[in-house]
Amino acid sequence: MSVINYGQLLQLAWPEIILTVAALIALAADLLFFRQSALRTRFLVAASIASIGCIAAIFKLLPGSSEGMLLGGVFLSNPATHLVQIALLVIAILTLFLSVDSTFTDHVGEFVLLILLATTGMMFLVASQDLLVIFISLELLSLSVYILAGFDKRSSRSAEAALKYFLFGGMSAAFMLFGFSLLYGFSNSTNLVQIASAIHAVPLNPLVILAIVTTVIGFGFKIAAAPFHFWAPDVYQGAPTPSAAFIASGSKVASFFIFFQVLVIGFAGAEGSATLHHFQSGWVPVIVTVAVASMLLGNLVAITQTSLRRLLAYSAVAHAGYMLLAYVAHSEQSLAALLYYVATYALATLGIFGILTVTEKQLGNDKISDLAGLSRRAPFLSACLFIFVLSLAGIPPLSGFFAKFLLFTAVLAVSPGSKLLIGLIIFAIGMSAVSLYYYLRVLKSAFVADPPADATPIQSPMLLQLVVGLLAAGVVALGCAPDLILNQILKVIHASGL
Amino acid sequence: MNWIVRNLWLIPALPLFAAGISALAKQKNRALAAGLAIGSMGISFLLALCAFAHVLVLRSSGQATQQVFNFPWFQFGNDWLSLGWVLNPLTAVMLVMVTFVGLLIFIFSVGYMEHDENFTRFFCFLALFASAMLGVIISNSLLLLFMCWEIVGLTSYLLIGFWYFKPSAAAAAKKAFITTRIGDLPFFLGIVWLYSQTGTLLFYNNGAGCLEPTAITHLLSQTTAIGVCVATGIALLIFCGAIGKSGQFPLHVWLPDAMEGPTPVSALIHAATMVAAGVFLVARVYPLMSAHNGIAGMLTTSTALQAVTWIGAITALFGSLVAVAQFDIKRILAYSTVSQLGYMMMGLGVGGVAVGMFHLITHAFFKALLFLGAGSIIHGCSGEQDIRRMGGIRKLMPITFLTYGIAMLALCGFPLFSGFWSKDEILHAAHHWNISQAPYYMGAFAALLTAFYMTRQVFYVFAGSSRLTEEVTDASHAAAHTDAHAADHHHGSSAIHESPAVMTVPLALLSVFALLLGFFGTPAWPWFQSFLDDSPLAVNFGAFGEGGILPVMLISSVIVFLGLGLGWWFYGRKPIESAVAPDAVGKLSPPIFTVLGHAFYFDAFYGATFIRLNTLLSKISDWLDRWVWSGAVKTITSLVFGFAHLDNFLDTNVVNSGFDEGCEGVSLSGQILSRLQAGRVQGYLKIVAGALIVFTIVLLWKAKI
């Protein structure tokens, strides 16, 4: 048993500490000094303080910052975790500024605090290879976002969504904890590497199989993969827009990353095989099933949605299905492609939620049909919507296309000629074609349909336009020059030995 | 390497830049658009002069006059696709001609288009056109040439249809685009074939280019399945592109209709430069065109060049025949252009690059002058284009008359005018052609007709007294009276007036060249020919007497005088009194005149055959699409939809078990809500638990096996 070096822990945990302090300052400033100010001012002040904290944390994470590993993986700090953490912080900043013009709550300080705490949770989550820390930080994240989902206390829908989210999440956490306890019992360790060395005997022990399934269920809930997605439509629809945006973007990025780590490191040797002739128990068959179910269900059910938020929820399920293919491949390239995919997906989703904050306020709901004539009522936002939606649909040259392209090629590159992989990719591409239908329905409503007779131009705050514009520019830029971050991702993954 | 070779790309890039800026500018920024277009063209002209001077310097210092600059564009497979540009005498001459004529026409357009509300757009298109055309000229890669070639086609389409609100202009634009596309298809096939055979599309690349001896020898050594040499096959395919672009028989039909565009466009695109692109293409790939398996030095003409010659001769004769019976001033010039392009092709076929290119250059000047003169006349007559309703313009528009007269004599081939020298050279070469004498006789007869129809036009337009106020009742030619220009013309008065200086100065400048340019290529001092062929030059007045030049020259002079005399006999002897009086030649044989007036009914013939066939095919495709393919798609769609609905039904009804109504409508009571809520989540969780059980059982069961 090694001894914790507190100096080193402090050194490595600086970003998280900064973030927590910033969260407390934002809360205190809001409660002590700005109680009486206008809501927008409070949001602006709190978001600014929080953003300064986030930016300071980002500076601590830039290349060249200290790296290390505590207690064999309880807490680690390497280029890959830094990159993911920077992405999480950027998403947090963007979410904060998207919420500046919101009116759903008077508890600004608390809202910002929770966003930052959730971010802290995510940062710890991605920086650990230890079951215990993973579980605790996952709970920190989850509890924060449960509250965020129910933050609009005046809305019954928000409360309903939060409660559902909480119950569902609690149950999933129970499954996961059950699995984790089995793993601990089996390997006498909470360290992923040591677990892997203890469980990989073939055929797998039944208890290990149970642990695999419950772990998949626990993370499947976080990433909204079918059939563990039931909370998503309600939460996407009921939660306040900034919360929904945060749940749909930041929480996804962190969960996808750590899920990959747990499976690839913790269950190394227990992959199994999903091909019909050489079926072998392990996590790959489970992931394949979940991926196919997600793509099928997400895409098909999305077709019949009339609410844009619910449509986004089902599209998130579908995207989770695509991204799970990276797990099936579990190579260095596929992890890089996964990170690129989830980052660009987060940008586009954030952008659409940003637009929703404006349209919902003025149109009263998020019905796709009510977007009619948006291109004439809010040309700039419509143009951005166009970019985001087409990126989600995977149209070149937007980043969504390259994300899919890279992901699929990375998957195929793992074992060229594998019938299973080729079949999965063909299925995914077919499902992408289906998804085009419902994505284009959104654009058709915004660009082709005539606005209602009494329509007036939609006013949107400058700050929001700026954030949405930045996101759109990011989506286009990453699509036109995917090398911008892909090379970086590959480099850090390599440097971190993942 | 000189900087001009490296920076040759600037010449097309500057007008492109101007086009880009004016495309973004607002409609009202007229001065900006015109200034940018003219300024960029002016700079390009100066650069073109530099390039020309550079070639001259190289030549005088005895170095190779051909310099290329190639660069890799992108990689596919293991091959790099390279593009590049080439500076040689051919390029230099064409660059100077296009930039200079283009510049003058741009300036002229400022006056001509001043009343048009889309002035900015017009200059944007003009500059884009000029850029593409210059790109065609400098390309050292067949691919780059083809890309620019297509942009040229696009701008031509945009400019013919510039007055798109007129259905005739829209139709003409479409016709031009589609007809030239028919030629471009084989052209593209030729490019692909050439690439598959030689592995490069660069013309010149230090011995590895597709026009250099290694590649040509390789192409000649291959034979296709039908017994034609590969070089011939490729050359003929590429020539198809030239047929379309240069309005050669049988794809000439679009060129007369293209006169629906504004007159400066007709001058720039459909007389001086774009239509010459086809001729230029043949000249550019001449090593391929002329490649044959005969013994070097023997008088053998390749199959491709024979095709070029015959097509050219037929076109020359055809165009001049039809021009005799037209009444629209621009259509006469259009058919005249068709005919002259035929001459150029014939010149390339029988005499080589220099012969055809010389006529191209001289023709560019005097035909641009003719079109601008016609534009000036139309401008002065407030949009009238029917020559029967003109008359008496000589006194009213003296400068226009003078310059038009010079251009007309140059076109006719009046001795000592530029057209005389260039046309005569073609006829001389045709006379000595080793295959057949027929092209010579066809060319000579076309020359006679050219002199005749130009005389007819000039007498109609300039002589006598004005007939502008009379009505034309002849139904068959009512179409000739198009209000193309009047459409945007707000003069409001029908008084004929001389055009402003911005229009007459370019006319005067061009007429100087129409007069004098020929002296650069006389048999006694064939500077132009030696420049293009890179052969030694000497002043030799004795050359007139050698090789039967003098007799041919005399015969062609006699022909010209005969044509002018006939024209005077029919139209000049007694003034044309009335706009409704029948045509003097038409009276001789009305049926033939009608056939000529309808251009041998080619449009009707195409309409009854190809277009009808096409309509039939499209109807069949429509039917297939509507019933067969669409049926299949609809079946799949409804299957997917059905599945989606089923899925959604399961998700909302079975899983959510009718909860939604509860929370929406009824009560917000926390107790009820929580109870319903719990019920619902239970449903959710049941599924999760089911998944757990299924997964575990499957894995366990399989693990046992």
pLDDT tens, residue by residue, A298-337: 888 888 788 899 899 999 999 999 999 999 988 888 999 9
Contact at CB, B696 and A213, closer than 8 angstroms: yes
Percent of chain A with pLDDT over 90: 52
The predicted-structure confidence for A72-106, as pLDDT tens digits, reads as follows 788 888 889 999 999 999 999 999 999 988 888 88
CB-based contact, A435 to chain B, within 8 Å: no
Question: Between residues B575 and A177, which one has the greater pLDDT?
Answer: A177
Q: Which amino acid is at B18?
A: A
Q: What is the pLDDT at residue A205?
A: 83
Contact at CB, A297 and B643, closer than 8 angstroms: no
Contact at CB, A167 and B677, closer than 8 angstroms: yes
CB-based contact, A315 to chain B, within 8 Å: no
Give me the residue spans of the domains in chain A.
Answer: 294-498
pLDDT of B668 strictly over 90: no
What is the distance between the alpha carbons of residues B247 and B339, in angstroms, rounded to a whole number?
Answer: 9
pLDDT of A202 strictly over 80: no
CB-based contact, A436 to chain B, within 8 Å: no
DSSP 8-state symbol, B328: B
By mean pLDDT, which of A87-96, A129-138, B673-682 is the weakest?
B673-682
By mean pLDDT, which of A240-254, B217-231, B391-405, B466-480 is the weakest?
B466-480
Q: What is the pLDDT at residue A294?
A: 92
Which residue's structure tokens are 């062929």?
Answer: B533
**Chain B partners of A228 at a C-beta cutoff of 8 Å?**
688, 691
Q: Give the A window 125-164 contacts with B, CB below 8 Å.
A: 156-157, 159-160, 163-164
pLDDT of B145 strictly over 80: yes
Which two tokens mark A84?
Answer: 């993911």
Shortest distance between the Cα of A59 and any Cα of chain B, in A, equals 39
| Mean pLDDT taken over chain B | 80
Q: Average pLDDT in the B593-614 region?
A: 82
Residues in contact with B604: Cβ distance below 8 Å, sequence separation at least 6, in sequence order: B598
Top residue of B653, B684, B693 to mutate, by most chain A CBs within 10 Å, is B684
Q: What is the pLDDT at residue B481?
A: 41
CB-based contact, B691 to chain A, within 8 Å: yes
Q: What is the pLDDT at residue B655?
A: 62
Q: What is the pLDDT at residue A381?
A: 92
By mean pLDDT, which of A278-287, B8-17, B375-384 is the weakest?
B375-384
Top residue of B681, B692, B701 to mutate, by most chain A CBs within 10 Å, is B681
Top residue of A146, A167, A205 to mutate, by most chain B CBs within 10 Å, is A167
CB-based contact, B677 to chain A, within 8 Å: yes
Query: Residue B650: closest CA among chain A residues belongs to which residue?
Result: A301
The predicted-structure confidence for B352-383, as pLDDT tens digits, reads as follows 888 888 888 888 888 888 888 888 888 777 77
Cis amide prior to A451 (ω within 30 degrees): no
Contact at CB, B699 and A204, closer than 8 angstroms: yes
Contact at CB, B643 and A289, closer than 8 angstroms: no
pLDDT of B671 strictly over 50: no
**Chain B partners of A210 at a C-beta cutoff of 8 Å?**
696
The predicted-structure confidence for B271-310, as pLDDT tens digits, reads as follows 778 888 888 898 888 888 888 776 554 456 788 888 889 9
What is the distance between the alpha carbons of residues A260 and A250, in angstroms, rounded to a whole number?
Answer: 16
Q: What is the pLDDT at residue B495?
A: 64
Contact at CB, A203 and B704, closer than 8 angstroms: yes
**Chain A partners of B692 at a C-beta cutoff of 8 Å?**
175, 213-214, 217
pLDDT of B487 strictly over 50: no
**Chain A partners of B639 at a C-beta cutoff of 8 Å?**
none
Query: Residue A282: closest CA among chain B residues belongs to which residue?
Result: B699
Contact at CB, B700 and A304, closer than 8 angstroms: no
Q: What is the pLDDT at residue B476?
A: 38
Residue B662 has φ and ψ, to the nearest 5°, of -55, -55
CA atoms within 13 A on the CB side of A444: 7
CB A73 within 8 A of CB A496: no
The predicted-structure confidence for A395-417, as pLDDT tens digits, reads as follows 888 999 999 999 999 998 888 87
Percent of chain B with pLDDT over 70: 89
Q: pLDDT class for B660, splitting at 50, 70, 90?
A: low
Q: What is the pLDDT at residue B257?
A: 85
Q: What is the pLDDT at residue A123?
A: 94
Complex prediction ipTM: 0.82
| Mean pLDDT taken over chain A | 89
The predicted-structure confidence for B498-517, as pLDDT tens digits, reads as follows 777 777 888 888 888 888 88
CB-based contact, A231 to chain B, within 8 Å: yes
The predicted-structure confidence for A100-127, as pLDDT tens digits, reads as follows 888 888 889 999 999 999 999 999 999 9
Query: Residue B646: closest CA among chain A residues belongs to which residue?
Result: A301
What is the distance between the alpha carbons of residues B156 and B270, in angstroms, rounded to a whole number?
Answer: 8
Q: Distance of CA A358 to CAs A247, B32, B41, B493, Å?
A: 19, 40, 49, 57
pLDDT of B472 strictly over 50: no
What is the distance between the alpha carbons of residues B303 and B300, in angstroms, rounded to a whole number?
Answer: 9
Contact at CB, B640 and A216, closer than 8 angstroms: no
Burial category of A426 from C-beta neighbours within 10 Å (exposed 0-12, middle 13-18, buried 19 and up): exposed
CA atoms within 13 A on the CB side of A278: 7
CB A288 within 8 A of CB A420: yes
Element (H, E) at A471: helix A462-480
Question: Between residues B470 and B584, which one has the greater pLDDT?
Answer: B584
Helix axes B213-221, B167-198, angle to 10 degrees: 90
Percent of chain A with pLDDT over 70: 98
Q: Which of the residue ranges A114-118, A421-425, A460-464, B131-135 has the most confident prediction, judged by mean pLDDT?
A: A114-118
Contact at CB, B663 and A157, closer than 8 angstroms: yes
pLDDT of B321 strictly over 70: yes
The predicted-structure confidence for A350-366, as pLDDT tens digits, reads as follows 999 999 998 888 888 88
Q: pLDDT class for A21, splitting at 50, 70, 90?
A: very high
The predicted-structure confidence for B515-535, as pLDDT tens digits, reads as follows 888 888 777 777 888 887 777
Q: Which of B645, B647, B691 sits opposite A217 (nearest CB)?
A: B691
Residue B63 has φ and ψ, to the nearest 5°, of -85, 170
What is the distance between the alpha carbons of residues A259 and A264, in angstroms, rounded to a whole number?
Answer: 8
Q: Which of A209, A303, A434 sits opposite B699 (nearest CB)?
A: A209
The predicted-structure confidence for B540-560, as pLDDT tens digits, reads as follows 776 776 767 788 888 888 888
pLDDT of B679 strictly over 60: no
Q: What is the pLDDT at residue B289?
A: 84
Q: Average pLDDT in the B423-446 region?
A: 86
DSSP 8-state symbol, B278: H
The DSSP string of B51-88 is: HHHHHHHHHHTT--S-EEEEEEEEEETTEEEEEEEEES
Q: What angle do CA A78, A81, A84 make, to 5 degrees?
A: 150
The predicted-structure confidence for A371-388, as pLDDT tens digits, reads as follows 888 888 888 999 999 999
Shortest distance between the Cα of B646 and any Cα of chain A, in A, equals 9
Q: Average pLDDT in the B416-428 region?
A: 85
Q: What is the pLDDT at residue A221?
A: 92
Q: What is the pLDDT at residue B704?
A: 61
What is the distance between the alpha carbons of residues B587 and B599, in angstroms, rounded to a whole number?
Answer: 18
Query: Residue B664: closest CA among chain A residues belongs to which residue?
Result: A157
Strands B79-87 and A68-70: unpaired
Q: What is the pLDDT at residue A27?
A: 93
**Chain A partners of B680 at a C-beta cutoff of 8 Å?**
164
Q: Which of B647, B698, B702 sits opposite A297 (nearest CB)?
A: B647
What is the SS3 assignment for A36? coil
Element (H, E) at B451: helix B438-462
Element (H, E) at B503: helix B501-516
Shortest distance between the Cα of B700 and any Cα of chain A, in A, equals 6
Q: What is the pLDDT at residue B55?
A: 86
**Chain A partners of B645 at a C-beta cutoff of 8 Å?**
304
Contact at CB, B681 and A172, closer than 8 angstroms: no
Q: What is the pLDDT at residue B509?
A: 84
Q: Average pLDDT in the B122-126 region?
A: 88
Buried b / exposed e over B325-338, threshold 16 CB at 10 Å, is: bbbbbbbbbbbbbb
Top residue of A207, A215, A230 to mutate, by most chain B CBs within 10 Å, is A230
What is the distance between the alpha carbons of residues B695 and B691, in angstroms, rounded to a whole number?
Answer: 6
Contact at CB, A171 and B673, closer than 8 angstroms: no
Shortest distance between the Cα of A71 and any Cα of chain B, in A, equals 33
pLDDT of B474 strictly over 50: no
CB-based contact, B641 to chain A, within 8 Å: yes
Percent of chain B with pLDDT over 90: 5
